[in-house]
Structure 1
Amino acid sequence: MHRLEDDTPEDELPTLSSALATATRTLAAAGVASPRVDAELLAAHALGVPRARLLTASLDRVAAAEFARLVAGRAARVPLQHLTGHAPFYGLELAVGPGVFVPRFETELMVEWALARLTPQARVVDLCSGSGAIALAVATRLPTTQVYCVERSEAALAWLRGNVTRLAPRVEVVVGDVADDAVLGGLTGAVDMVLCNPPYVPESAPVDVEVAEYDPREAVFAGADGLDLMPAVARAAARLLRPGGLLAIEHDDTQGESLPRLLRATGHFDEVEDHRDLAGRPRYATARRGAERAWQDGLL
């Protein structure tokens, strides 16, 4: 976009309509997947108005300069959410930025599955919580549930704690590794549902620039087949869940058969199913904790 000088007269500023058209062309040329949508969201952020109010909005010098700055950043493939400082998820506005995985719309499908099966007094654990998207979606829709977030990354924990404080302070943030059997040791066999959006992308899979350069690598990739962390997630879920408790794990679209097979192989889960997203791609697996037994026996 054209760089605005500080002394640009107000009557020489571009109209919002022409600025949006220019921004859309700039973002499209940079390879941004949704150039018009991103341009409108950036304009709304620069103006401090909802996107729906752009039709009646106009640019002043300050907003025009800020919009130009934001568009330049997005054209350099800085994630939209890093530029605005927030990511929408299931009706929430989550604070995000460097060091934390930006939640995706597809994960909302797993949240819907969970909410349809949770009771008001349920105890829920969100493993690999990141920004807290899943946990906070549950906690704000079912305010009498007990919700725990488990996260090990110090960078992600800063964002997680901020989101919890702002949106649902009763949620408990637990610092720990999903592979550590001591994490939430007091809840062994006492949890009604475990939810998890772990790193699951195969190392060789192509990803967008925004993912490759800005999402934390440890929150995205998980070995050659993307399944490196899944045994630890299955083990943690089997330890925490009561008999009959439910598990849901998001996964890569190449894992629609391999992850359910892994869960069945533990011998601790029944009713293992895989679920597809709105595009028909395998997206998350669910299971029910089987009959009570010593959780340590026979696990991966």
Structure 2
Amino acid sequence: MPVLPPPSASSSSSAFPPPRAGVVAALRAAGCVFAEEEAELILAGARTPRELAALVDRRVAGFPLEQVLGWAGFHGLRIAVEPGVFVPRRRTEFMVDQAVARFPGASVVVDLCCGSGAVGVALAAALGPVELHAADIDPAAVRCARRNVVPRGGTVHEGDLFDALPGSLRGRVDILAANVPYVPTEEVGLLPPEARDHEPLVALDGGADGLDVLRRVTAEAPDWLAPGGCLLVETGERQAPQALAAFTRAGLTAHFAVSEDLCANVVTGIK
């Protein structure tokens, strides 16, 4: 969570609980670990007392904070997030960093399984002018992604993985970032309620071993990558050996990188 300034001294001078204290109490009672920090963000986003009450009610009901606020912080950017859309995780910033390190001169970037489009937008911000495309099978994600990607000069496509992309991209993609779902089906029910109840199943469920979508992406990626282009996916630590094997079968030179600080695991394949 971001570090926020403490409340002003005047906030505790009233005989009645001030708005901040009431919000903090409601969030803390709902089990929010970072109640004080979340209260500051909600108070800053509310324009009227009625709107404040609605935001607090949604958070207390278990909606992800980012969906309540309408935005998520990601790689130093503010990304629009809508109800029912996958919330970008901070750990996925590691995939962005790996992509920029592998191909700093990239000119064509594709964000597959894009959700809000956070990865593509972050790559475009880090790399400078690029031809940016994003794609997702979920119409709600596509609508949300357009809010983030189009202002960057990018295009968002709706469809199943590579079927969504224009054929003109074949053999031209420098960075193909695919934040595929990788939670095994039987473990989806173990996710925090914020995820399993308020994010689309298609963005979470990766099949029996969590690697169904990863295998599909890896098998087709070489046809879309430019020479020297790279495919990047995030995966679980225990899935890494199988993910690396899938990359190798596809003819990609595979690398595995770990960020202990972010608890992130990224497999990169170079064509």
Per the shorter chain, which TM-score range?
0.7 to 0.9
User: In structure 2, what is the Cα distance between the partners aligned to 1:108 and 1:191?
Assistant: 20
Question: Structure 2 residue aligned with 1:174, among 151, 157, 182?
Answer: 157
Which residue in the other structure is 1:284 paired with?
Answer: 266
Q: Which runs of 5+ in 2 are unaligned?
A: 1-13
AA aligned opposite 1:30? A
Deviations 1:184-219 (A, max 9, x none): 322222221211101111112210111011101111
Correspondence for 1:197 = 179
Superposition pairs of residues 180-259 of structure 1, within 5 angstroms: 180=163, 183-205=165-187, 206-259=190-243
Say whether residues 1:105 and 2:90 are aligned partners: yes
Distance of 2:166 and 2:144 partners within structure 1? 21
CA–CA distance in 1 between the matches of 2:58 and 2:159? 34
Contact residue 101 and residue 219 of structure 1 kept, 8 A: yes
- 8 Å CA contact 2:234–2:264 kept in 1: the answer is no
- Amino acid in the other structure paired with 1:42: I
Tell me, yes or no, if the aligned pair for 1:253 and 1:281 is still in contact at 8 Å.
no
Q: Kindly state the Cα deviation for residue 278 of structure 1 after the two structures are TM-superposed.
A: 3.4
**Change in CA separation of 1:251 and 1:185 when aligned onto 2, cut-off 3 Å:** same
* Whole-Å separation in 1 of the counterparts to 2:130 and 2:165: 20
Post-superposition offset of 1:252: 2.7
Native 8 Å contact 1:149 1:172 kept in 2: yes
- Contact preservation (8 Å) 2:136, 2:159: yes
**Distance verdict in 2 for CA 1:31–1:113, change over 3 Å:** same
User: In the aligned structure 2, how far is the partner of 1:179 from the partner of 1:276?
Assistant: 27
CA deviations 1:238-296 (Å, max 9, x no partner) are 11112321111012343222211221233x111x122223347452111211xxxxxxx
Q: Is the 8 A contact 1:102 1:131 kept in 2?
A: yes
Identical-residue share of aligned pairs (%): 35
Deviation at 1:29, TM superposition (A): 3.3
* Aligned equivalents of 1:66, 1:151: Cα separation in 2: 31
Higher helix share: 2
Across the aligned residues of Structure 1 and Structure 2, the Cα RMSD in angstroms comes to 2.3
Matched, 1:41 2:41: yes
In the alignment, what sits opposite 2:77? 92
Counting matched residue pairs gives: 256
Measure how far apart 1:235 and its partner are: 2.2
Where 1:255 maps in the other structure, the secondary structure is helix
Q: Displacement, 1:89? A: 1.3
Kept after mapping to 1: 8 A contact 2:169/2:224: yes
Amino acid at match of 2:140: A
1:157 and 1:282, CA in 2 relative to 1: closer, same or farther beyond 3 A?
Answer: closer
Task: Report the alpha carbon displacement of residue 121 of structure 1 after superposing the two structures with TM.
Answer: 5.4
Task: Give the Cα separation in 2 of the matches to 1:135 and 1:46.
Answer: 29
Q: Which residue of 2 aligns with 1:71?
A: 56
The amino acid across from 1:23 in the alignment is V
- Secondary structure at the aligned position of 1:31 is classed as coil
- Which structure 1 residue ranges, 5 or more long, are not aligned? 1-10, 48-61, 290-300
**Which residue matches 1:273?**
255
Decide whether the 8 Å contact of 1:179 with 1:232 is kept in 2: no
Name segments (4+ residues, structure 1) moved above 6 Å. none
Matching of residues 115-130 of structure 1 within 5 Å: 115-120=100-105, 122-130=107-115
